[in-house]
Structure 1
């Protein structure tokens, strides 16, 4: 082998020739050791080096076992100004090989970036351009020792070995940095995390404090913490990151179009945020595929793979093995009483944030079974912010990410779950079946990045109010960047007309009205929303028909579209993904109906009372702006219907009719009917009980599921979409917030009955809006 051209590309020797040098060679086999030693010798001869620098060979990439640092311990007993220079040999795949990176066959044939000694010699002879020699940033023994002593706690008996391990870890870090210049940012990953944490002064001090509090030996706690780290600490590698990227592309490509819809400029802005700040990417959760969308977009844009939190339920054989090696952090479902586990997790997360490794997880905690955003779970956010508080992190950026789909395979399952049936346990067999079920056309995937919620510093861990405000801001921004899509608007139109079917012209008229309203208010619309949908009704709508979400009847003189009653729960899911944009308008419409029953100044007062009352009634369903900002939004919306809207309110029914002329489309019936009907079920259920009887959550949900079914059969509620566990749980919270669930005096029975009457009256006003909407459509024809 003629290695002179390779050697001549770069000189491994530092420029200060008079200084003592120690080379650390990162080698996996005899060939790599031979090549790196030859590289050193080649330039030593060329530069007439006056001494033979010591060389230590260690496999720095093998994290499965500790370093064999015996040689390094001896070599570090050199003068303080000795320069430590790490070297590595990197193999890149051929152009053809790069396309096939991450294939499982490489488990057998070997990763092309890690050839055996025999195969490596062949590459050196036939394709030397695939071989690169890297020099990590040098540092002196003195500097390294100072950093070690400032950040690590070790006993005097093991200090030399601990220092050698520290130097080896630092060599690995600087070589990885050099390698990323060659391979790309997507391969940025933390290395030797567990050993770094176990040796850190901060972690040791925290464990000692806990040991004193629990009156247990520190050594015992450290041993237990090491076991926790084996469970939770992710061990990503280039090979498994490639496998995971290919796996994500495969799963998403089974049913969805190849290109995810996102704003590339927003991704580049995100890159700058993550590069310069501790960052969390919090995404909305609708399906198991959500966890694949963010990594795929990041991978496609050469973005460092974000670490993802996952529940222990997903850590089953096969998938768990892959995810653990691709950045997943599996944590126990419950560890409230395990102080050592919490401490270990906090320091692990703090380390990742400090080193600018972004975290990502579903901040709702579980998949939304109704389409709309669920209340955020505070657990993980609390622990991450506690870690930031411990490390005194500054300018923490929390970036909301909204993930949406045209069609979701899981929705039928959600509808079934909401009737009271449980879901099956996750397992490898279940996952294989789930992946196979994705192989059907489901349209596109959308990922939208919101404006970061920026924290100058993490709040005090005991400040629960601050945590809830942060989560609320993230939720509001996630809703704000959720785009309107064709399925969401079609289902909104057809559910609003149900049980009536609509002609194609009527559907197009509705879509144009909804789009026009949204555009005039700056509501986000999908970047690739096809405005010529009137000419392409067979495209995505055809998929919805094939999925039995929409019914198409073409045997009459006109083609009509509708949603059958049994499909309302499924169709409601897609409508609910964008329902938050229309809630304020729905509240206005219902408040106007209420105010139209009065005249003069009392009508305006009644309007605002009803606005606030409805906001409070549905506070467990939607995220609103703070009261003052909410009132401003209402006034701004009303001013669009007339500068003199307050005077019009005082005219009673006549003024109401005048305002309605400019209020197309009407949305109260399609926005709030489901929730009002569900609440009426739980309120009626409670009203049947005596005043001394209490109602527990589980009993409420169980009884409401059966009582709601009866109400639907009696057509006291309009749709099965108003029957669901989550709806009834939120309804129970509403009852509880009014002090109606705990048994008390006999007068409580009348209060319960009054709420039931109030909700029946609300349903009447919703029916008024629906009737006006139907009449307006007829007038338009």
Structure 2
């Protein structure tokens, strides 16, 4: 079906996009036929990849499909895609040549050779008094440069993607589609409106020889497979995908490299040559207008929500444009959502501290066991693409007040680049959240984990899913839709996908009653909705300071200033955990309170000027058993618990009275001890949520504690020395001079108490002495084991000490950022 690219025109009176037939490089308008199936807030959807023929069920149709792919018939030929040419003999050789010839790489090789010559001269290897000194020096430099040229050629050859054979890519597409549709039996769904927009942008980018930078979220290895399939199916040039070399194992690594993967190390260390090679390759791709893809979060999210942005590859992309080596590129944030993520069971083990297994072919092949499962569908959404150059110019005007101009070099300073990277990273995350679709499994998981009690009847489950769907839409979110299917049918499909391992049915009751079996794993799906309600959750958790007191309405009412203080505190400590609205604390807080008032969840008291003075629960919410208020609390309480746990564990890093070292401890051992403390507190009833011990959230807590200056962390230049951590001296708690016990007082203790105010009440929670005695004693017992016998191992080298001082100075310059909420 290679042919002309048709342009859609609106038809009818409806505001929805027309039905489309999306095949290869051709888009065909179809008569409106199923308009009534589209909800008011839904885009028209197209299932790009549906069930393909199976040999056992239909051998003739199966053989026909195979023959069409082998022969490259119709759209399968992939002949008229939009973008720069990537499939031709010699593509890889040309790319290697272009990368090796970049000026920045050649300049770096010359610099490194010169530095090595100077080192050898200082060691006496080259004698300046020798008559042939100049000649020998030049010969030695040539040898060094030639060696680095050869090394660079090998590194580039191992790194670059090698998409140079259409028969291979056609076969890879067919195989990937077969595997994906076996696991996700309802196919891949996209928005036809977004696809039309993306194709128009791609056509302009092709004309201007500009790259489209796809920046997807990352929840599964299926992410890059699904996006490659979509680009192939829509007739867009396949992007080069940044991939960690941990996936570059025999057989699979070569397959992925020829399907679009470029391999990079997980860590570059101080290897400036390798860093320059990566920059040179990215420059070459972007200068050539080749599409590019990397995951904004770096690794896969094990928790279900977006992770903070990683700036490594973004920094390379930014450097390309700030330096002037690349004129412009198009940024396209992408959201990929699943009814069920294949890897969630493995994620639970990793979050509980079980070491991640190294990828290998055996495990890869064993994953085929999931291919017989019915995991529902994949929904992929594309945010409206935007120009990176225009974004930088807008930030330039905002930061330094300079009107838009062609020159961007004034932005290339460390401070401004840091701000640009953060702003760009969080804008992409916000864009991804804006187009994300909430799947039925996420609705079910959220409802089950935000209700009091062990289980819920089907009628109540339906009511709360409908309520949550309405709230998602009211917040500007999108809910996956299934035509005219009744909500009960959609819920049953979601329950079937989740399976009995996550949600089980109690038999023999008058009404079907469901309960969460694996709350830890189910929290992955609940976390897919939390970004929509983070402002309401922060306000509700802050109100809990008074609500948990019980009594009448007057006793549970909180003053506006007290609420604002706690909201500010919580939003600060969670600013690396969640994506907040961008209007600022005062505006967001007032908007949230007015929204809760309109929903009849809170009652606001105002003064004569209309300013809010106090907040309490609305009478309607009290009559409803606080179910909506509790919903918002249940969303954020596990994170409050986790950060409280992380802070309590810091108390255990306090050295004993007779300790002789500097307090430096192995970071990994400290974090492992935090998890051990959490597991103990959970089983003893002092921690309400087992998911609070998950490794990723505790790591995020440690990052925030370091940013606040509570914790000091240093990574040695020596790779053999693990990262070390200690409490900042001004935050270190005191010990009783006679007993040596930790004292429940001081700056860190007050910080812990501020978090604890918004914790969910539970066993022993009302007795403050429980935490200040038994929990603190347990924390100290676990912490003491970290120091060993003498403690002299916790002393930094002089070099690392200087590195720490430099890091602390840089940290102080960056402190003072206001809360993002």
TM-score (norm 2): 0.67
C-alpha contact (below 8 Å) 1:700/1:732 kept by paired residues: no
C-alpha contact (below 8 Å) 1:278/1:353 kept by paired residues: yes
Query: Structure 1's 736 and 206: CA in aligned 2 closer, same or farther, altered over 3 A?
Result: closer
Instruction: Give the match for residue 155 of structure 2.
Output: 228
For 1:588 and 1:766, the matched residues in 2 are separated by 20
C-alpha contact (below 8 Å) 1:697/1:729 kept by paired residues: no
For 1:569 and 1:253, the matched residues in 2 are separated by 28
Instruction: Give the match for residue 634 of structure 1.
Output: 589
C-alpha contact (below 8 Å) 1:318/1:428 kept by paired residues: yes
Instruction: Give the match for residue 729 of structure 2.
Output: 744
Q: 1:541 aligns with which of 495, 504, 510?
A: 495
**Deviation at residue 738 of structure 1 after TM alignment:** 4.2
**Deviation at residue 221 of structure 1 after TM alignment:** 3.0
Q: 1:460 aligns with which of 412, 437, 447?
A: 412
**Deviation at residue 305 of structure 1 after TM alignment:** 0.7
For residues 611-622 of structure 1, what are the structure 2 equivalents within 5 Å?
611-622=567-578
For 2:488 and 2:455, the matched residues in 1 are separated by 17
**Deviation at residue 359 of structure 1 after TM alignment:** 0.5
For 2:616 and 2:298, the matched residues in 1 are separated by 48
Q: 1:756 aligns with which of 752, 756, 769?
A: 752
**Deviation at residue 344 of structure 1 after TM alignment:** 2.4
**Deviation at residue 394 of structure 1 after TM alignment:** 3.1
Q: How many pairs does the alignment contain?
A: 599
Deviations 1:526-572 (A, max 9, x none): 254776222454322123234x11111131111111113xx011100
- 1:578 equivalent to 2:529? Answer yes
Instruction: Give the match for residue 179 of structure 2.
Output: 251
For 1:96 and 1:659, the matched residues in 2 are separated by 58
Deviations 1:605-664 (A, max 9, x none): 1121122112112223112234x4353233223223448835299786766547778997
**Deviation at residue 681 of structure 1 after TM alignment:** 2.2
The structure with more radius of gyration: 1
C-alpha contact (below 8 Å) 1:409/1:438 kept by paired residues: no
- 1:672 equivalent to 2:626? Answer no
Deviations 1:224-273 (A, max 9, x none): 22222211122212122112212321221121025311112212322333
Name the SS of the counterpart of 2:388 in structure 1.
strand
Deviations 1:322-344 (A, max 9, x none): 11112211122333423232222
C-alpha contact (below 8 Å) 2:557/2:616 kept by paired residues: no
**Deviation at residue 515 of structure 1 after TM alignment:** 1.3
Compare 416-425 and 685-694 and name the one that shifted more. Answer: 685-694
Instruction: Give the match for residue 429 of structure 1.
Output: 362
Name the SS of the counterpart of 1:362 in structure 2.
coil
Instruction: Give the match for residue 100 of structure 1.
Output: 66
For 1:676 and 1:189, the matched residues in 2 are separated by 49
Q: 1:266 aligns with which of 187, 194, 200?
A: 194
For 2:568 and 2:169, the matched residues in 1 are separated by 51
Instruction: Give the match for residue 310 of structure 1.
Output: 243
C-alpha contact (below 8 Å) 1:315/1:321 kept by paired residues: yes
- 1:647 equivalent to 2:619? Answer no
Q: 1:589 aligns with which of 540, 550, 558?
A: 540
TM-score (norm 1): 0.70
**Deviation at residue 375 of structure 1 after TM alignment:** 1.6
Deviations 1:436-484 (A, max 9, x none): 3332111111111123353216752742222122111111211222211
> Which structure 1 segments of 5+ residues have no match?
1-94, 104-110, 114-129, 132-178, 768-781
- 1:366 equivalent to 2:299? Answer yes
Compare 269-278 and 254-263 and name the one that shifted more. Answer: 269-278
C-alpha contact (below 8 Å) 1:594/1:606 kept by paired residues: no
C-alpha contact (below 8 Å) 1:402/1:449 kept by paired residues: yes
Name the SS of the counterpart of 1:682 in structure 2.
helix
Q: 1:558 aligns with which of 507, 511, 519?
A: 511
C-alpha contact (below 8 Å) 1:365/1:377 kept by paired residues: yes
For 1:743 and 1:343, the matched residues in 2 are separated by 36
**Deviation at residue 212 of structure 1 after TM alignment:** 4.4
**Deviation at residue 405 of structure 1 after TM alignment:** 0.6
For 2:497 and 2:491, the matched residues in 1 are separated by 10
**Deviation at residue 766 of structure 1 after TM alignment:** 9.8
C-alpha contact (below 8 Å) 1:231/1:330 kept by paired residues: yes
For 1:229 and 1:689, the matched residues in 2 are separated by 45
Q: 2:97 aligns with which of 195, 209, 215?
A: 195
For residues 281-680 of structure 1, what are the structure 2 equivalents within 5 Å?
281-456=214-389, 460=412, 462=414, 463-528=417-482, 532-546=486-500, 548-564=501-517, 567-594=518-545, 603-626=559-582, 628-642=583-597, 645-647=604-606, 657=619, 665-666=628-629, 667-680=631-644
Deviations 1:645-696 (A, max 9, x none): 3529978676654777899733233211111222222333334564776776
Instruction: Give the match for residue 676 of structure 2.
Output: 706
For 2:168 and 2:342, the matched residues in 1 are separated by 27
Compare 502-511 and 339-348 and name the one that shifted more. Answer: 339-348
Two-structure CA RMSD over aligned residues (Å): 3.5
For 2:544 and 2:106, the matched residues in 1 are separated by 65
- 1:716 equivalent to 2:686? Answer yes
For 2:359 and 2:507, the matched residues in 1 are separated by 42
**Deviation at residue 319 of structure 1 after TM alignment:** 1.2
For residues 3-42 of structure 1, what are the structure 2 equivalents within 5 Å?
none
Query: Structure 1's 591 and 658: CA in aligned 2 closer, same or farther, altered over 3 A?
Result: farther
**Deviation at residue 381 of structure 1 after TM alignment:** 1.6
Name the SS of the counterpart of 1:715 in structure 2.
coil
- 1:239 equivalent to 2:141? Answer no
Name the SS of the counterpart of 1:100 in structure 2.
helix
C-alpha contact (below 8 Å) 1:691/1:747 kept by paired residues: no
For 2:250 and 2:426, the matched residues in 1 are separated by 36
- 1:685 equivalent to 2:649? Answer yes
Query: Structure 1's 263 and 338: CA in aligned 2 closer, same or farther, altered over 3 A?
Result: same
For 1:279 and 1:304, the matched residues in 2 are separated by 10
Relative contact order (alpha carbons < 8 A, sep ≥ 6): 1 or 2 greater?
Answer: 2
Instruction: Give the match for residue 62 of structure 1.
Output: none
**Deviation at residue 579 of structure 1 after TM alignment:** 1.2
Deviations 1:190-237 (A, max 9, x none): 622123444566754564455445544343333222222211122212
Name the SS of the counterpart of 2:450 in structure 1.
helix
Query: Structure 1's 468 and 659: CA in aligned 2 closer, same or farther, altered over 3 A?
Result: same
For 2:197 and 2:497, the matched residues in 1 are separated by 35
Deviations 1:306-325 (A, max 9, x none): 11111111111211111111
For 1:683 and 1:590, the matched residues in 2 are separated by 18
For 1:717 and 1:400, the matched residues in 2 are separated by 37
Instruction: Give the match for residue 701 of structure 2.
Output: 731
